[in-house]
Amino acid sequence: MLTGKKIIIGITASIAAYKIPFVIRLLKKAGAEVQIIMTPSARDFVTPLTLSTLTERPVLIDFFDKVDGSWSSHIELGIWADLLLVAPVSANTLAKMATGVADNLLLTTVLSARCPVLFAPAMDLDMYKHPTTKGSVDKLLSFGYKQIKPVEGELASGLMGCGRMEEPENIVSVIEELFNKPLAFSGKRVMITAGPTYEAIDPVRFIGNHSSGKMGYEIAKAIVNQGAEVVLVSGPTSIDINEDGILVNKVTSAAEMHEKCMTIFPETDITIMAAAVADFTPVKVNMSKIKKATGFSSIEVKPTVDILADLGKIKRVNQILVGFALESDNEHQNALKKLNNKNLDVIVLNSLKDEGAGFGFDTNKVTILTKNGDELIYGLKSKYEVAQDIVSVINKISNS
C-alpha cells in the first residue's frame, strides 16, 4: 500500500505519456496522492484535463498561472514529494536532468527534490543506445536516482528494440517496493575514507597523489541510499557533498586520517578504506617556505602509519573491514596478500594496467576478492555502479 504517500509524476514529450493515466489510477487505488507536472510539449501527448481529473489536482506546467498570475513553487513541490517519478522521460529531458538545465517547472522541481527520484526512459532504440543518452543515464544513476529501464518491443517508430517505457503495473510495483522494502543497511554505521593525503614539505609544498576521491564519495552515496549512516573521512578533494546521512570529516595528512579513523572505528559496523593514503611522509617539515635560493637536493622520507593494518588489528568479529589494492604487477597475488596481512573481509583490486580505470577517471574496473575465497571480476563501469557492486558484496558478507 502507498497510503498517504505524495508522488509527483513529471511527464515529458513522448508517446508513452498515454500510459500515465493508468499509472495514476493504480497509484490512487493504492492510497497515494499524485501531483502531475508536465513539460510544455508533453501537452501534445496527453491532455491536462484527463490528468487533473484522475489526480483531482490541477496539472502544473508553467512557473506562473497565466489566468490568476499565481506562482508554482518548485521548491515547495520538491519538499512536498515523497517520491518524484519522471515518466516517460525523453532523451532531451534526460540530458537536461544530467546537466542541471532548469528551463521549465519540471526540471527546477527535479533540482529541488529532496526525495528519491525515479526515471523511466521512453525513446527510439537508437536514441537509447546512443553514448550521449548512456552518459546521461550514468550521470543520473551517480546522483542516486533509480532507472526503471525501458523494455524490448515495438516502438512508436515501428522499429523493434529496447526503448518502450515499462508498463504501468510494473512501474507501480517498483514504487511499492521502494516504499515497502526495508533497506539493506538500515541502522548500520559505516566509515568510508576517500581521496589522497597530503604530506607537508613546507607550508606550501607537499607530497601527494592523483586520487580525486570520487570512488570513496560514490561508495558513500551508494550505501547511504541503502539506509546506512555514513561518516566520510576525506583527504583534500574538490568534491562537495551535501547529502542527508553523510557526515564529512576533512583531513589533510595520513597522520590526521589515522587519528580520525582510530577514533571513529570502534563505533562502526563497516569500514571501507578507499583513500589513497600516502605511503611516505617527509621526516622534517620546514616551518617556513624553503626559498629557491636556499634550494634542496633531496627530501628524507619515512613510511606513514598503515591505517588499514592498524584497523585490522583492533577489528571485532562482527565488524567488516574493506580495503583497496592498487597494483601494477602480480595484481591478484598482491591483493590477496593485503587481504590476509591486514585482516580484511574484502579487498577491491584496481589494476593500473586497465584503461579507463583508477585515478582521475569517472569509470573504474575492479575485481573483488573476499576472505571466503570469492573472486568477482567486473567490466568497466561508472564509479557509482562500481560502488553499488562493492556495496552488494558487503551486503552478502554481512548476511552470511
CB nearer to ligand CTP: give 61 or 277: 277
Q: Which of the following is catalytic: 209, 249, 334, 395?
A: 209
* Contact criterion met (CB below 8 Å) for 381 and 134: no
CB nearer to ligand CTP: give 88 or 213: 213
SS3 assignment, position 124:
coil
SS3 assignment, position 161:
strand
Report in angstroms how near the CB of residue 296 gets to ligand CTP at its nearest.
Answer: 24
- The CA–CA distances, whole Å, from 50 to 17, 18, 20, 127, 177 equal 12, 10, 10, 29, 27
SS3 assignment, position 368:
strand
CB nearer to ligand CTP: give 107 or 326: 326
Q: Which residues of 85-109 are buried (b: 16+ CB within 10 A; e: fewer)?
A: bbbbbbbbbbbbbbeeebebbbbbb
- The CA–CA distances, whole Å, from 288 to 199, 267, 285, 291 equal 15, 39, 9, 9
CB nearer to ligand CTP: give 124 or 327: 327
Report in angstroms how near the CB of residue 342 gets to ligand CTP at its nearest.
Answer: 7
- The CA–CA distances, whole Å, from 390 to 113, 188, 324, 329 equal 27, 16, 11, 23
Residues that bind ligand CTP (CB under 6 A): 254, 273, 275, 277, 279, 304, 306-308, 323-326, 338
Q: Is 372 a catalytic residue?
A: no
Report in angstroms how near the CB of residue 368 gets to ligand CTP at its nearest.
Answer: 13
* Contact criterion met (CB below 8 Å) for 381 and 141: no
Residue type at 275 in one-letter notation: A
Contacts (Cβ under 8 Å, ≥6 apart) of 224: 144, 230, 243, 244, 245, 246
Report in angstroms how near the CB of residue 141 gets to ligand CTP at its nearest.
Answer: 25
Can you tell me the distance from the alpha carbon of 244 to that of 148, in angstroms, rounded to the nearest whole number?
Answer: 24
CA nearest to 223, candidates 245, 247, 238, 194: 245
Report in angstroms how near the CB of residue 211 gets to ligand CTP at its nearest.
Answer: 10
CB nearer to ligand CTP: give 175 or 257: 257
DSSP labels for 104-118? SHHHHHHHH--S-EE
CB nearer to ligand CTP: give 188 or 260: 260
SS3 assignment, position 103:
coil
Residue type at 374 in one-letter notation: D
Report in angstroms how near the CB of residue 339 gets to ligand CTP at its nearest.
Answer: 10
Active site residue ranges: 209
